[in-house]
Every structure is written in structure tokens, then in C-alpha cells.
Structure 1
Amino acid sequence: MKPIVKIISLGTLLSAVVPGYSQRPVTGPAAFVNPFIGTGAVNGGLSGNNYPGATVPFGMVQLSPDTREAPDWGTASGYDYNDKTIAGFSHTHLSGTGVAELFDLLVMPTTGAVTTVAGEPDKPGSGYRSAFSHQQETARPGYYQVKLLDYDINAELTATTHAGFHRYTYPRNSKGHVVIDLNHSLNKGSWSTRIIQSQIRVVNNHTIEGFRIITGWAKMRKVYFHIQFNKPVVRYQLVNDNTVYTGNKVVNGSNVRAVFDFDTQQGFTLLVKAGISPVSVENARQNLAQEITAWNFDKTADDAAALWNKELQKINIDGSEQQKQIFYTALYHTFLQPNTLSDVNGAYMASDYTQGKTKGTHYSTFSLWDTYRAAHPLYTLLQQTRTADFVNSMLNQYRSYGYLPVWQLWGQENYCMIGNHSIPVLVDAVMKGIPGVEVEKVYEAIKNSSLISHPNSPFQVWEQYGYMPENIQSQSVSITLEMAYDDWCVAQLAKKLGKTEDYNRFQRRSQYYEHLFNSATRFFQPKDEKGNWITPFDPYKYGSNGGNPFTEGNAWQYYWYVPHNMPHLVQLTGGDNAFVTKLDSFFTHSHTTGEKNDNASGFIGQYAHGNEPSHHVTYLYNYAGQPWKTQYYAAKVMNELYNTSSSGYAGNEDCGEMSAWYVFSALGFYPVNPASGIYVIGSPQLKRAAIQLGAGKTFEVRTRKQSDKDIYIQSATLNGKPYTRTWIKHSDVLAGGVLEFVMGEQPNTNWGTGVADRPINSSF
């Protein structure tokens, strides 16, 4: 359990010592965002795996420093707050994932003699890396700054959707350079990563362009770029492997770099604009021309900040300074992705490597095993137009690839994790009436994606046995539980559309979880293909991503995964009292067997907030008539497992999921079943939160409390009328109004305890 660590906002701390844009005051909710939260563990363990660099909401470009020559699992975003050197600034990054990838188009300003050979992986002082200090580093939404101490260069970064903008202030009497490195990537030892081909072409003394084709976690990604300098290049060298090509205007190869020299004897500021595209150099050129029309760095940074304030002000809150910083940073992290993958002209690279065209925006970076739980339900509330584009982007993969995304990155399927959790995202969007979604096309896609076998989803096995036998399909228990939920989602849309035969088929499949419930052990546990329980069975033993019945968890953590039929799970457990007793044990048993999975962190007993299978469990006491215990544990997680330090998250932030859990929970409710139209009430943290719904409508959550110790609901009203339900409909939120809670230090064991007050399976 991590203690709360109070830190000073680095943007405020550094404004007195760093000249330029960093001195400008930050206004609006963006003032409370600290991009350094979650960028590095304080005392070991996991921290968030976030990056601090410049980006705009849902942008293609994430221009951020990489503190490793070859980032890998432990530094998946490229940046670790505990590192002492920076290897360069690359234009694409993932936020909070457990796997490293992207890091495209590394740019690094240097002075003095410079090697054309990249440094040894993660060896300080090698290559063209530079030392830096957090005392001379700052970040805010859409802007990043650092002093490169080895070169005495002040580097500033900002971004638009498709372009990065650099400002480098060189010292006097220096030999100034800019290094471009197309070989910088995920560790070449992971995912068979290699550069297939790359190119740097000198167009003129102000312009270069090129591409790289790289394969790794995402297969055969194509990234094209167009770069402009505001000062003339006086000399340059193009390099492939260890061969230097002097005088060439183009270099091709699989280890391509370049060094560009500038006249910096008098000291000057160099501006660098870089547009990127997954389609072509021409599109990269067009992206840049449309989005950064002038050499005005400050205006571009101001525009980025304005875009962030537009998004962040969709929820206005009153609370403590610490609550505001954690809340708005969480909302910021939630809005970093999915990422734009289409160019300004609507072109994008499809999953079959052909060029597609969209009228809206085509998105990728769908970390669906994580984000279907809370991030996508938050988007249906706050990002309805983008949600339609997310759905249509997933349908684009279905059209070209044959089934919906499992984990899509840069337009390519990488099959990370289990289930097919595009399904609940699409069903949720349809059931909530998101405009711009083709309902019949969605149904075709979710039905066929539930029938066509693909890695970790052998549907012929599923229907033959009514569960996944472990000796046929590893991770069998987790897959059985998660696919049963996906099938429930298909059944609900089939029912809505009057497809009775399909409804019966998928509703039956949604109950397959029962076949792995062992009434003797009171756990879900694996069977073989003959229906025999596989022994020995240890509910504390962790699985990873194969070779074990459980995925990144154990039997205790997966016991609670029946979100579509919690009342039945209560019955299987033995009724209300038995269910509460087992939940109590879950939150108090600290016993372990062997090594934990690397993603298991943020423990309260067996509850592991650092990974997603546990995320809904704090809310389950409501289903057995003891909501005050939900209130206790929801508050405990918020107060103890989120903080304002670089170690601000209890685990990988996972593309906004860890943040979305906090945003919902601080508001006071959470989507236990993310496709049900139901939010389950917990312990609202904020004095006031106003959700801007559009069309002049607002939904407010207010709390009347005397202190931070007032975590228990004493009473509630909805639009002035007494409210005792421990859940609220999505449609009630969309209608606007005021949900007010009176809070206290002691549990009110009478509020919300009636059978009629318990959450229902679905409001649709």
C-alpha cells in the first residue's frame, strides 16, 4: 500500500528558474494537471508508466523525452522519473501500458563533438544522451521543457494532433547539431522488433523527410515524416549502420541516422516542426501545413492548452487542491487515447495495409481488456461524438480483418490479452443511443466476432464443451468468465433487435461460467476436456498470460467476474451472508503462494487495484445489502492508492483505465457492468462535481460533509427527492439534475439496504 505523497506542482516550482514559455500562468482545469504523476516509482514497484511530454487530446503525436536508448517492459512509456539522462525526444508514445512500443522519429539537439552512432542501451554517457535535473524540467498539458545539462540547451516541446513543435535554445560559442535517429525503438530483443526499411531525404537546407517501416509488438508499422527547420542547415551527415554518407541527399537502410549542423556561434533558438503520417510523406507534409502554419511556438502551445481546457472542463469540481490535482490529471490521462490514426484528409492505413478513407476520424490504440471497464463508459458520457468514431474505427477493422479488435495498435491487431472486449464497447454505445452508429452493422460485427475463432478465442471449443478446457486452451478460467460476459452483451443487442434465436444462443453461452464453479471449493477453477477438475488447485496461485488457468491474477481475484449476473453469483456463493463473508475475506487475506504476477500491485488483502480484474470488486457489497462496506473500500482505494507523486498509481495506468476508475469513483459511482446502463454508488469524494452534458444540461453530484473522514452515506436525494437505491441509471444522469449525499464518519446501516435498493443487471 503506497502512502499519499504531497509534491509541489513542478510547473510552479520551476517557473522562477527556467525562462520563456514555462513562466506563463496556467489557467482553467489544466492548471491542476501534473503530467509527472505516474512517471516513476518512489520505492520500487509499479507507478503508472506514464510519459510527461506534449500532446493534445486523442492526438496522433505524443512528443516526449525517452530516458532509455531501448525502452522495454519496465519503461513502456519511454520515460522513468528515476532516470538521470535523456536519450532524445520521440514523437509517439503509449500511456501507461505494460508493453513498450512506438518511440518513432527520435530528435536530439546537441553541441560540441557528436557521435553518429547511437549509445549502448541504457548506458549513461553513451551516444548522444544528456544528463538532466528535475529542478530544470517542467510539464503541463500540451507543453514540456527540460534543460539538457551536457549541452546547455533548453529544450521545449509542444504538439498538435499530427505534428510536433520543438524549440531549442543553444548557448553562445557552441557547435550546434540536431540528431535524427530512425533506429530508436523498443528493445530489439522484444517481440522480434526490427527496422524493415527506413529513409532520410534532404529536400533543401530547411527541410528533410522520410519514413520508417518497423515491426514489433504491432506488426509492420509505417511512419512517414516531414520536418522543417527555421534556420538553414550548414552541414549534414547521413548514416546507415557505421557508414557515413557525406554529400548524399538520401540514405536508406535499417539503421539510419543523421546529424544536421547549424551556425550557433552567437547562440540562437532553433525551431523544428515535424508532421507525421501512417500513410505517406505527402500526407505528413499536408498534416504539418494545415496544423502549424507559422513559426510561432508559443501560440501552438497556447492552442494545445486551450484544447485541453475545452476537454477537462467537461467536469467542473470543487475539492481540495490534492483532489483537484489527482482528478484532473486522471481525466487528462483518460483523454490521451485512443489515438488519431487518420490524416487531415481522412486517409488512414487499414488493418490489411491498404489505404482507407473516413469522413470522421479514424482511431487506434484500443487497449480494450483494460478500457472497456471504465474508460469507454466514461467516453459515452463525456465524448459522444468521439465514441461514434471509436465504434466506426473498430468496425473498419472488422471490415478489413474479419473480426473486431482485441488490442489494436497503430491500426494493427496484436492479440494482447483475452476475450473480445470491443463487444461490450459497441453494445454499450448502441444501447445508450450514441448518434452516428450503424446498429445493424454493429450487430453483424459483434455476432461474427463471437463465432470466428482467433487467438485465445477458439469458439468451436467454447460451444462444444460449454467452457474452456485448460488442456486445450490456456488461461481457461479467465477466458471462460470474460467470454461469458461478452456473450451476454451480444444477447442484449440481439434481444433489442428482435433476433430471438441469436438471443437464446448467446444468453445460453453467457451462463457457461457456471460450468467452472466448484461447489466444493467455492471457486471457479479449471477442468480438462473430460470435465474433470484439474488438481492440485490453489486459489492464491497467480497466472500471467499463458500456462495457467488465470490471466494476470488468481482464483480469488477472478471469483467476482460475473458482472452481468451478480445476483446469481451471490446465490452460488451461498446467499447474502456468505457473499459478504467471502468479500470480507478477499479484502483481508494477505496469504500468497509463490511469485505474484508482475501486474499484481496495490494490494488490500487479495484485492489488487494495480490490475483491472479487481477494479469492480469494491462495489459488490451493494449486491448483498451492505453498501457501507463498498463505501469504506472505495474511499480507501482513492485515499491510499492514488497520490500526486511520480508514483501516483498503484499499477500500470493502462491507457486511461486506472484514471477512469478514479474519475468515476470520485464522482461517487462506477459501471460494474459497463454495458448495463447502470452505475453502482460508492463513496463520493468531492464537495461538488458538475458534469457538462451538452445542450445546456448539467448533472451535479454534491456532498454535505464535515471532514475527509466522512466517507459513509447517511442519506441521499435525487432532484430533491429521497433516494435510497445503491445505483443510478445512465439515463438519469443524462437527463440532468442534482444527486446530493449527506456524508458521515460512521456507517448508516439502514441506507440502501433494502432488496429493492440493490443494483439490477441492466436498465435497457
Structure 2
Amino acid sequence: MKIKTILLVLAATGAFAQQKLTGYVNPFIGTGAAQGSPLSGNNYPGATVPFGMVQLSPDTRNVPDWSVACGYNYNDTTIAGFSHTHLSGTGVAELFDVMLMPFSGARIQAVPGENPYQSPFNHKDEVAHPGYYSVLLQKHNIKAELTATTHVGFHKYTFPKGQAAHVFFDLDHSMKKSDWNTRIIASQITFVNDHTIEGYRIITGWAPMRKVYFHVEFSQPIAHNFVTDGGNSYDNAVVVNGTAIRAVLDFDNATELLVKVGLSATSIENAKANLQAEIPVWDFNGTVAAADKTWETELSKIKVDGTPQQKEIFYTALYHTFIQPNIISDVNGDYAAPDFTVHNSKEPYYSTFSLWDTYRGAHPLYTLLQPERSAYFANSMLRYYKSFGYLPIWQLWGQENYCMIGNHSIPVIADAVLKGIPGIDANAAFEAVKQSSLREHPGSPFKMWEQFGYIPENLKSQSVSLTLEMAYDDYCVAMLAQKLGKTEDYNHFIKRSQYYKNLYDAQMGFFRAKDDKGQWIGPFDPLKYGANGGYPFTEGNGWQYFWYVPHDVKGLINLVGGNAAFAKKLDTFFTLEDRPEEVNDNASGFIGQYAHGNEPSHHIAYLYNYAGQPWKTQQYVWEILHKMYNTTSSGYAGNDDCGELSAWYVFSAMGFYPVNPAGGVYDIGTPILKEATIQTPSGETFTVKAKNVSEANKYIQSATLNGKKYTKTTITQSDINAGGVLEFTMGSKPNKKWE
């Protein structure tokens, strides 16, 4: 079912007076897979502001699990409630903090673990745009509306007249308790007065020992409360401590109820301060309008001209890239450090770093569009390093979950420093990336790396993927050392960046696993998939990981035997349809062996440029842009992974993408938009134009940069920051002389 983007004036909120860029955003894209499709994006449609702590969104399952990691699935038919924290596009469920659910009529005695107040809903009664969400809860005939600021969720409930009004308040709501050993360690609810409740929960799961504090204010007095904690119940409680707290709050004669929920990761006092600073008055419509204005400002950093469908996909993708990382510091600068103490920073402190994914495209996009925040992201990682001993791998709510392999804070920080992003101490950054490349930790086993020059599979699984990804991280350390004149360090890490060659089997023509004796481990099948342990490849196979040498593509070409052999192997890769019986769930969006639904494939279509066949890059990039993205709930070919699939579209639709994420160089693909203009940090504009572009005209015939003939297949960050116009003339047939 195609979802129509809401473009009209919303009388209920007064948010829109005319068409804006926010009107192109369709938050329902990527929220539910089509029949027969394994993945859709795992995005949620609820209310949030750019990079905010609060993501106030409906949960369509009482117990979210792996199949609905963001809490919402478009194909579900009921809503369990509205919780205040969510992950956008991840493959693991987590957060879902402080869930509220309005209901009318009689209170129902709830069985522990069950939710008697969940309600059916219909998509025709559902509206979402940046900073706003609403739905009609059919069971209760209640209209629920949501908006948000950085630290505060704002609810508006319209109850049916003449019926008792209640709010179900759930501190036990979480992902499936059996996943990641999830459990509530402690929680508390305190009834401060008849308009205010506050408390906390301490929960462990994918992110260990998360502390979530809340301060909640209601526009109507609480007439009565009934609290349960497992099998215990409390009537008109003042304070309850427990591990499964759920409460029903009764409101007399409340046809309209407003609720403000302030969050903090550090204290109840800071949750209250966050609320008072961001939503001091009961102005729901004004908060909606402010959220829309904030989103309009952020989306305006790129102005594009294309078809309505292209604009809808593009601005929704840009919206998704600006949802995370998430600020975790309070308005006073306090934040939860990894040592479980409270620190303070004069600049915002961020978390939610899905680095195995986002270092590839999302963070390079931030250096173009969010340079100030790029510095904040890097500095947040450096502060984390000071407390934790090495840089984050996959950091969530201020804590490390050790998900995925490598240590890809390194390319993010190196990229920001190499590009001259102001506000980062380059020497401190180098010390952090160097030490994080030497100290043993679960993501990267450096002792055996130094000993063997590769990772032996019999000592550490996922060994081939680890070897390839660690080699890239080492390259990034080397480049930063070179910039700072640290010759000895440069020599050490550039040597390690070539260790990828030690797992190349020239006879087989693939990277494959060795043991600690240097012997190949067989049998080897380049089509066989690995997941997240127990096999040499991570969420992929030998075909997909063969191309992962983004820092030394020419070296990889030489291993294969030159440009012709390299291009021929790419041809086979994009046309080989064979599938093993078991394909990892993250592998989706196939073109041959190319799997756009998972990040290790993302740069591969651009590699034809390096072998002198850019028209094939243009062909496959065009195909991916058109086949792997659409405007429905199944609009993505895989998990969006905190904006990485979205970032690929934003870059590629404009006509370029970073094969080497820390190189400051972008490889040209093929633009599908008529025009795209980037607002650079210096105040200049950089415009990409595509003359004669159409569904048929996907091949570049010629190009000019600032009016001069341009034949390179790359464009640099400095070119873009300087401003100007890159203009392509497009045609229906390849121009094999343009390279």
C-alpha cells in the first residue's frame, strides 16, 4: 500500500501554512516490510527533533523483539502504547523507555507482563510528519497526538465525552526480557502532587545498566492512582519501588489531557530542568510548530529539484540521517559517563553510535552538512575514551555494547580531523585512535594482529572480516599520523594497513581464513554466509567482503591481475545469482551477489571507476537508486542502521559517494536529480546539475566544474566546500571515453 505524504495544512496543529521541505518527508517509509521481503528499514514514524534524546513513537508490540527493533511495524494492527526512546533502523531492539497509553472506560486488572489497554488502529487515522505524530485509538475512541523537543516528549490526548479518562504508565515495558539478559534492576515512581510524577528505571540489556530518569507533568489533576509491581498492588500510592512497576492514573472530566515527559540519563532533577527549559508552558501547537521549524532548517542544508517521488525519498532519507546520533547530555551539560558517574561538558555530549554502519556514509555526510555536530560527535568519542580506555565500538545511552567488529570511531575521528573540522584537538584525537589500535578489546584483538599479520580463524572467529576492517582502521591511524608529522607511527600503521594481503588466496581469487599455523582453512565457499560469529565472514560472504579494501583499491586491483581482470570479477559479482540454502537475515536487496541491505556492499558499485569503466558504476548506481528505495512502508532494502542506507541515497542521488570514508574524496556515480545545492559551512553553495537527466538518460556524457571541462571520476571535500557548480550532461548510452 502506498502511503501518501501529508502536505496539507493540519488544522489540528496549525503547523503548516504552505508547502515546505518537511512536507516531503514521509516518516512511514521504511516502517514495515512488504510481503515476501525480509527487511524494510526498521524506522519508526513518531515525533523527534534532529539528534534529540527523545524519540516519542508508538510501539505496536507489547514486547518488542528482534523482528520490530524500532518498536513499530506498519503491518501490525494494534498499538501497545507510546514510549519515549527508540532506535532508528537498527537490527537489535532496545530502549522503549517510559511508555504511556491513554484509555477510557473501566480500569482492567492487568496480569503482570500483559497489556489490557492496547488498541487496534487504522492507517487512515494515522498522520506523521517531522516532529508530529497522531493516531486514533479505536478501542477507546481516543485521538493521541505526539510532539517532542530535545529532552521532552509532549502528548495530547482527546478523550470521548462522558467516559472516564485514564493513562496507563508502564516502567516495565522493554524489549523481550530473554534477549541480551534484559531485566529491570530497579525502578521507582513518586507522586509529587496531583499534577506531577517522577522517578527512574535502571535497566540492563543490549546496553548495560541504563539509567533513565523522568519528570512528568499533567495539565489535569490526577484523581486517583493504582500501582502494581508484579504481584503487589498499591492504591493511591505516594512512592513505589520495584522491578515491574506499572500504574493507572485516573482523571475526572478530562476530555483533553496534555502530558509533558522530561527525560535525563543523570537525575530526576535534571529531567525536571530539561522539561522546564524546553517546554515551560502548555502550548502543544507551538511545540509542533517549533519542531517543524527546526526540521525545516536542517533539511534546507540541501535543496534539490527532481520528481515528487524523488523529493519524497530524498528528504525522508535526509530526515533519517539527522535522527541520530542522539544527545545524551542535559541542558546543564551533565551526562552519564561510561564509568557510571556524572560528568559535565560545555558542549553537547552524544551517544547512539552505530559505527560499523555509519562511518561509511553517514559520518562523511555530517562533515559536509553538520560540521559543528561532527566535532561534537568526535569530542564525545574522545571523552568516552578518557573514561573507558578505548574508543566506542557501538555506544548506546553512554555505554558500550561491543556489537560488531573493528573500532570504527577511528575513521570517524580521523576523517573529521583530516578535513579540518574545527573544534577537535588533533593531538588528543591521534592519541585516542593510536591507543585504541593497540589496546586489546573485544572488537579488535590487536595482540594476535601484531603477532600474525592477520587474525587466525581458530583463535578468533569472523577472522577475514576482522582482518579487512582492522586494516582499514589502521590506514586511518596512519593518515592522521602523517598529517601530524609522526613518521614512526605512520610507518607502523601503514604497514599494518597492508595486512589484508596476508589472507588473499591467489589460487582461489578470494580472501579466506587461515589458522595460526598459516594454513588455509577449508573447505571454502565464497557464497556461504556468516552471521556474527562462528564463521570467517561477518553478516556476509566471501564475494561481498572481497571488495573491502577501500583504502587501497589499486592494491586490490593488482592482486587480481589488473583492471581488466578486476572489472571482469565485478561483472561476475553483479550477475551471479546463486544463493546458498542459508542466507544471513541482514543480506537483502540483491543484484547478483551485491546486497544493498547490508553495509559491506555499499561502496562496491563505485569500484568500476578504478578499473577505467565508470559507465558501469553509473549503470549499477542508477539501478540501486531505483530498485532499492521507494515511498512505501517497505521503502528500504534492509535495516537503515541509524541512517546509513539513507546516507547512501542522499549522496548517490546527488551523484557521488565516499568509497574511502576518511579520504576526503568522493567517487562520482550518476546523478538522478535535476539539481542539488549544498549549503557549505563557509556560506558558499555547491550545486550539482544534471542536464537532460531522465529515466532513460542515466549515463554521463560530459561534465564541467565551474564552467571548465571535468573528466575526473572523483570530487573532493575541498572542491565542495569552496562552492561552485558541477554540471553533468546525461544521455541514454554509455560514453566510454568519459573517465
Which TM-score band applies after superposition, normalised by the shorter structure?
Answer: over 0.9
- Correspondent of 1:448 among 435, 459, 465: 435
Matched, 1:378 2:371: no
Looking at structure 2, the residues matched to 196 and 255 of structure 1 have their Cα atoms a distance apart, in angstroms, of 9
Letter of the 1:684 counterpart: P
Does 1:65 find its partner at 2:58?
yes
Amino acid at match of 2:352: T
Picking from 133, 152, 173, the partner of 2:162 is: 173
Larger mean Cα displacement after TM superposition, 585-594 or 213-222 = 585-594
2:70 is matched with which residue?
77
- For 1:198, the equivalent position in structure 2 comes to 187
Relative distance call for 1:736 and 1:203 in structure 2 (3 A) is same
For each residue in 1:179-227, what CA deviation from the matched residue of structure 2 results, as whole angstroms up to 9, or x when unmatched?
Answer: 1100000100100000000011000000000000000000000000000
Q: Which runs of 5+ in 1 are unaligned?
A: 753-764
CA distance in 2, matches of 1:323, 1:6: 15
Contact map agreement 1:119 1:127 (CA 8 A) in 2: no
Deviations 1:653-674 (A, max 9, x none): 0001000000000110000000
Contact 1:456 1:473 (8 Å CA) reproduced: no
The residue aligned with 1:37 is 29
- The alpha carbon displacement at 1:145 in A equals 0.2
Q: How does 1:620-659 map to 2 (within 5 A)?
A: 620-659=607-646
Separation (CA, whole Å) in 2 of partners of 1:727 and 1:248:
66
The equivalent of 2:686 in structure 1 is 699
SS at match of 1:46: coil
* 1:6/1:643 contact within 8 Å kept: no
Partner of 1:681 in structure 2?
Answer: 668
Give runs of aligned pairs for residues 496-535 of structure 1, distance below 5 A.
Answer: 496-535=483-522
**Could you tell me which residue of structure 2 aligns to residue 762 of structure 1?**
none
Conserved in 2, the CA contact under 8 Å of 1:167 and 1:269?
Answer: yes
Q: Within 1, Cα distance between the matches of 2:113 and 2:116?
A: 7
What does residue 253 of structure 1 align with?
A: 242
Q: Secondary structure at the match of 1:351?
A: coil
Amino acid at match of 1:228: E
- Cross-structure match for 1:567: 554
TM superposition shift of 1:114: 2.6
Give me the whole-angstrom Cα distance separating, in 2, the residues matched to 1:483 and 1:467.
9
TM-score (norm 2): 0.99
1:353 matched to 2:349? The reply is no
Code of the residue aligned with 2:462 in structure 1: it is Q
Measured in 2, the distance between the counterparts of 1:116 and 1:384 equals 52
Amino acid at match of 2:667: V
Q: Distance in 2 between matches of 1:451 and 1:690?
A: 42
Is residue 594 from structure 1 mapped to residue 585 from structure 2 by the alignment? Answer: no
**How far, CA to CA, are the matches of 1:611 and 1:696 in structure 2?**
35
Distance 1:446 1:413 in 2: 17
Q: Name the SS of the counterpart of 1:191 in structure 2.
A: helix
**Cα distance in 2 for residues equivalent to 1:116 and 1:317:** 54
Change (3 A) 1:396 1:116: farther
Whether contact under 8 Å (1:209, 1:281) holds in the other structure is yes
* CA shift in 2, pair 1:555/1:118, >3 Å: farther
CA distance in 2 between partners of 1:24 and 1:146 (Å): 18
1:729 aligns with 2:721: no
Q: 8 Å contact 2:50–2:294 — kept in the other structure?
A: yes
Single out whichever of 496-505 and 437-446 deviates more from structure 2: 496-505
Answer whether contact 2:672 2:694 (CA < 8 A) is retained.
Answer: no
Contact 1:469 1:476 survives alignment (8 Å): yes
In the TM superposition, structure 1's runs of 4+ consecutive aligned residues that sit over 6 Å from their partners are none
Identity of aligned residues (%): 62
Alignment of 1:27-426 (within 5 A): 27-43=19-35, 44-117=37-110, 127-264=116-253, 268-426=255-413
Output one character per residue of 1:99-152: Cα deviation in whole Å (capped at 9) or x when no partner: 00000000010011233536766xxxx521001000100100000000000000
CA distance in 1 between counterparts of 2:113 and 2:18 reads 39
* Partner SS state of residue 652, structure 1: coil
Q: How many residues align?
A: 738
- Matches of 1:190 and 1:25, distance apart in 2: 46
Task: Tell me which residue corresponds to 1:429.
Answer: 416
Mapped partners of 2:171, 2:230: distance in 1: 11
- CA apart distance, 1:500: 1.2
Instruction: Give 1:395 shift.
Output: 0.6
* Matches of 2:71 and 2:14, distance apart in 1: 23
d(CA) in 2 for partners of 1:523, 1:431: 32
TM-score relative to the length of structure 1: 0.95
CA distance in 2, matches of 1:695, 1:707: 32
Shift of 1:19: 6.5
| Shift of residue 696, structure 1, vs aligned partner | 2.9
Whichever residue aligns with residue 296 of structure 2, its letter is N
Mapped to 2, the partners of 1:676 and 1:706 lie a distance apart of 29
Q: Which AA in structure 1 matches 2:562?
A: G
> Which sits farther off after the overlay, 456-465 or 334-343?
456-465
CA-CA distance at 1:25 after TM superposition: 4.7
User: What is the alpha-carbon root mean square deviation over aligned residues?
Assistant: 1.3
Q: Could you list the runs of 5+ residues in structure 2 that have no partner in the other structure?
A: none
CA distance in 1, matches of 2:57, 2:111: 18
Secondary structure in 1 matching 2:382: helix
* Equivalence for 1:492: 479
